[in-house]
Amino acid sequence: MATNQFSSGDVIADRRADYARMLAESGDHAAAAELIEQALELAPHWAAGWSRLGEYSEKAGQTANAIAAYEKVAELDAEGIFAAPLKLAVLGAAKTPEQPPSRYVEGLFDDYADRFETSLVEKLDYSVPQKLAALIETAKPANDKFRCIVDIGCGTGLLGSEVHAWAQRLEGFDISTNMLAKAEGKGIYDHLAQADLSLEADASGLFNADLPHHRADLVAAADVMMYLGSLETVMPLVLGLLAPGGTFAFSVEDAGDEAGFVLMPSLRYAHSETYVRTLLTSFGLETLETQKTTIRKDAGKPLSGILFLAGKPA
């Protein structure tokens, strides 16, 4: 039995874990941590259980116990499904990873797909697709049609819904198959495929005989960069997609005065404007326009972001 399954494989351990979850939901995280520890005595190789212990301990203010639990998760969860490297970095117990584990991001959005739009749009006032589309509209060709738009990290198709009328061909790529299924249901994409944007070598979904390099007049990425960390990997893929004279439109969470990119407690990355501008220049792209804006609510407060419009030389 896989060590990262959400069931421990032990009936008594699972029962104690359920009680621990109920205690945590009631706000008694210290008692929840104590009870999940009892479950782990019966199932010591259960990565999901150790991850819960880390979460409950962290919320109970037991930082040392949380770190020890997440270190155990890191030992058991080689694929990074439970994002232990990120959690340890947030607690100051490890160096900030340049990229999140791909399996963590894939699992996060596979699980989130069914409630993604309701959570973001209706509860968190998510507005990046509309705001980014308004910025893209300023760069439309004279005939109002992009020959090909590639929506990387397309999710359920929220940005695609805003720009598909401007595209002769619209393609979407995402790491999550469940998100892609939701996007397919909208009937707006000419092509959808799975791709891991954090891996420069993973170009199988983006390029082949039918999907050549340099085919896109516009590459767009709405709320994608915060799940990539360092953008050094994705930039070659963007350049490979963009036709000469093409446009790259995307958003980031604003790191403010911080240098480079920063891992936030949300386990998302924020990027500074200087970092992004410098990176675009180093890859031969010109920053055409930036716009600072609120991109959604986070814990009930406005979350600041930056929209970028960049151009590839003709």
Contacts of 228 (CB under 8 A, 6+ apart): 99, 100, 197, 198, 234, 269
Q: Residue 16 — pLDDT band, cuts 50, 70, 90?
A: very high
Digit-coded pLDDT (tens) for 140-193: 988 889 999 999 999 999 999 999 999 999 999 999 999 999 999 999 999 999
CATH code of the domain made up of 107-311: 3.40.50.150
Give yes or no on whether 11-95 and 107-311 have one common fold.
no
Q: Indicate the domain borders of the chain.
A: 11-95, 107-311
Assess contact for 287 and 310: CB atoms under 8 A: yes
Tell me how crowded residue 215 is: count the other CB atoms within 10 A of its CB: 18
Q: Which helix (H) or strand (E) segment is 90 a member of?
A: helix 84-90
Residue 229 has pLDDT above 80, yes or no: yes
CATH class of 11-95: mainly alpha
Query: Which residue is it, tokens 């963007």?
Result: 238
Digit-coded pLDDT (tens) for 68-114: 999 999 999 999 999 999 999 999 999 999 999 999 999 999 998 88
What is the spatial distance between Cα 54 and Cα 69, in angstroms, rounded to a whole number? 5
Pull the structure tokens for residue 100.
Answer: 């999140």
Q: Strands 301-311 and 242-254, how do they pair?
A: antiparallel
Distances from the Cα of 2 to the Cαs of 5, 8, 151, 239, in angstroms? 6, 9, 35, 39
Angle at 108 (CA atoms; ends 9, 62), nearest 5 degrees: 70
